Amino acid sequence: MKNLDLGEDKISKLIKKFSIPCVISMIVAALYNIVDQIFIGWSEASAFGNAATNIVYPFTVIALAFALLIGDGSATLFNLSLGSKNKEKANKSIGNCLILLIFISIVLTIIGIIFNEQILSIFGGNPNEVECYQYAKDYLRIICFGLPFYIIGQGLNASIRSDGSPKYAMFATVVGAISNIILDPIFIFVFKMNVKGAALATIIGQILTFIISILYLKKSKSFKINKKSIKLDKTICKKIISLGLASLITQLAIVIIIAVANNLVGKYGYMTISSTGKPYGVVTPLAVIGICMKVFGIVVSIVIGISLGGMPIIGYNMGAGNIKRVKETIKYILITNLIIGCIAFILFEFFPTFIINIFGSGNSREYLEYSKYCLNIFLGGIILTCLIKTISILLQSMGSGFKSTLLALARDVIFFVPTIIIIASLSHSVVTMLWSAIIADALAFITGIILLKKEFCKIEKINENYDVEIENQDINNRILNNKIIVTISREYGSGGHFVGKLLAEKLGIKFYDKEIINITAKEYGYSKKYILENEEKSFTNIFYTNDNKLFENESKVIESLAKKESCVIVGRCADYILRNTKNLIRIFLYSDTDSKIKRVVKYYGLNKKDALKEINKVNKQRAKHYNYFTNKIWNSYENYDLVINVDKLGVEQTAEIIKNIIIHKDKYTR
């Protein structure tokens, strides 16, 4: 992985390298709960145990939601920081991530232990269903003790991937999952622990993942954990949360879906009659919906894994301003996940019985019938769901946390929750309410397309600015390499100084006006006051030979500056002094009397009457000075390559016109 170049390597190659380990990690993470459900389904607990894990499942998703909030948010910030070459910010993003994960894991563990009965009640647990409720209580109590290891391990996984080690991140998760798979049957069937055994096997696997993830911090590639990086930075924390908010919402939305569905099942389960004439009840729909959500979670894990695999590529190239590669990555991910959605749709629609029988045999007709409805209807919009989840992660990767969060909320909360409540309330049916998922998928997909289109418009503008920046950089490099010298002679009050300064900034070269006074004073022992009072005066009397010497010394300074690098030099007969210099561009700037008066009044604080006198005096003095040392006429057009009336264009536009002329000249004279 160390040889991969996020800014240059082939997109498909990078996606495969990052996504495959990421997908495996995501699937393995989802298997923690699915494996429990499979073995429980084949145990004595059977449907009651599966219903119980479905009741507890939302709380474990809450833990994962906060892990991804911090983990994905810091990983995105880390990639953006690396792309923009901000090493210190990259270190802080990971260091702050670790501290936030520790804090959140402790808080959630305490909440889970103290308020376990209230948590079960919120997610559909009913004390009247004694056997199911007791299983749920046992499962939750044990799971809570593993939350710190689970949260920190999952949260660091994203940071490890973003550091260019997706295989290591996968290894950390796979080891925990394999441990869970091995220990589940041992604890459940050998030691006869049923649901308690599944929970214990789960937290042992989580501890192993935690240990492996923590060990990585000592061998990281692009970040360092030290006292400075772990010190909480308010700005960094806010950015992490804003970038990871979509991941939090995506997971919390699952919690809301299950909580609402479970409670509606408890209310209408006995009111819905199956084809056998018996009601579905509560346990059967709870168990089936739980299984469907886990199967749904596997598909979504693949989609999110592929999308997260593209996150380092998108984040890096966004930070580097390479929008073309960002768009190529997005296109590749969307097409791949569309294919995944189509495959899942075929499985859910045509092989529902096969899927449900994986989670236990000897199921009743009511159980199998409701399972088919759930897979066919509730997961019928899986293609759209895959694209919605993909777009949400892509928006997050591009740094648009708000749009990503909005889309996650749109599908699972804004559209789904009200729809399922309304349909269930009107129909009193736990079958009819399943159609709410397809309705929510359709509406959210439309929303996602709109949001993605807006983001594309936004990055197109960034792309245009980036192209201009690259072009300007190329131009500036040419100017610097070819050593362009620009001299500006100007009437007093014409704005020549400001035009010269702007021009130098636009070309990315040095600007010299008053700076020449400082250099001359330093090198030849003059006082700055003396130079200011005498540099633009002409001296013909033999008693003023020292002042002629001043001109000679300033000329040496100007020649030295021109030999050194590209630059813009204002006044001081520079056009004449450098007349034999290669790539010399001589400019004369003037303006009408009224405009000169306005500038002198505004910038030099003179009244109009005095301003006119000062303008005439200074310009007359400059003309004499120029004529004395050059034997030429100061404002004669034949002395210059370009003569411009500043009033016609304004200072800013005059500088821009001169820049374009210089670029054009440089382009065809190289």
Confidence band, pLDDT 50/70/90 cuts, at residue 666: low
pLDDT of residue 466: 52
State which of 161-170, 194-203, 362-371 shows the largest mean pLDDT. Answer: 194-203
Residue 150 has pLDDT above 90, yes or no: yes
Instruction: Tell me if 57 sits within 8 A of 256, measured CB to CB.
Output: no
Rounded mean pLDDT of the chain? 86
Integer Cα distance of 118 and 651 in angstroms = 71
Q: What is the pLDDT of residues 605-621, one digit of tens each?
A: 788 888 889 999 999 98
In the predicted structure, residue 141 carries a pLDDT above the cut 70: yes
154 touches 67 (CB < 8 A):
yes
234-268 and 87-114 are packed helices; what angle lies between their axes, rounded to 10 degrees?
40
In which element (H, E) is residue 152 found? helix 147-162
The torsion region of residue 631 among left (phi > 0), alpha (psi -120 to 50) and beta comes to left
Mean pLDDT of 379-389: 95
Q: How many helices (H) and strands (E) does the chain have?
A: 28, 5
- Which CATH number fits the domain 483-669, given the four candidates 3.40.50.2300, 3.40.50.10800, 3.30.230.10, 3.40.50.300? 3.40.50.300
Above 80 in pLDDT, residue 5? no
Q: What is the per-residue pLDDT across 531-585, written as a single tens digit (0 to 9) for each?
A: 887 776 654 444 444 457 888 899 999 999 998 888 999 998 999 999 998 889 9
Greatest mean pLDDT range, 15-19, 135-139, 521-525: 135-139
Residue 51 has pLDDT above 90, yes or no: no
pLDDT at 1: 43
- Residue 132's pLDDT band (cuts 50, 70, 90): confident
Q: How do residues 90-127 score in pLDDT, each as one tens digit?
A: 999 999 999 999 999 999 999 999 999 999 999 988 88
Ranking 234-238, 251-255, 466-470, 585-589 by mean pLDDT, the lowest is 466-470
Reported as a single tens digit per residue, the pLDDT across 302-327 is: 998 899 888 888 878 877 777 788 88
Residue 463 has a pLDDT of: 60
Q: Once rounded to an integer, what is the mean pLDDT over residues 360-382? A: 89
pLDDT over 90 percentage in the chain: 43
Q: Where does the pLDDT of residue 670 fall: very low under 50, low under 70, confident under 90, or very high at 90 and above?
A: very low
What tens digit of pLDDT does each residue of 162-177 get? 898 888 988 998 899 8
Axis crossing angle, helix 496-507 with helix 651-669, rounded to the nearest 10: 50
The predicted-structure confidence for 449-505, as pLDDT tens digits, reads as follows: 999 888 888 776 656 555 555 555 555 555 556 678 999 999 998 889 999 999 998
CB 184 within 8 A of CB 35: yes
* Segments making up each domain of the chain, as ranges: 27-42+50-232, 267-476, 483-669
- d(C-alpha 33, C-alpha 209), whole Å: 15
Burial 533-558 (b: 16+ CB within 10 A, else e): eebbebbeeeeeeebbebbebbbebb
Q: Residue 595 has which token pair?
A: 């405009």
Give the pLDDT confidence score for residue 173 in this predicted structure.
85
What is the structure's pLDDT at 280? 93
pLDDT digits (tens, 9 = 90+) for 390-424: 998 888 888 777 888 788 788 888 999 999 999 99
Instruction: Give the C-alpha separation, 668 to 351, whole Å.
Output: 70
Q: How do 485-490 and 510-512 pair as beta strands?
A: unpaired
As a whole number of angstroms, the distance between CA 556 and CA 554 comes to: 5
pLDDT-derived band at 668 (thresholds 50, 70, 90) equals very low
**Position 567, amino acid:** C
For 565-650, where are the alpha helices, taking DSSP H only?
574-577, 593-604, 608-630, 646-649
> The tokens of 334 are what?
């969307």
pTM above 0.75, yes or no: no
Note the pLDDT of residue 573: 93
Q: Determine the pLDDT at residue 544.
A: 43
Most confident of the ranges 154-168, 414-428, 642-656: 414-428
Contact by Cβ (8 Å): 83, 398: no
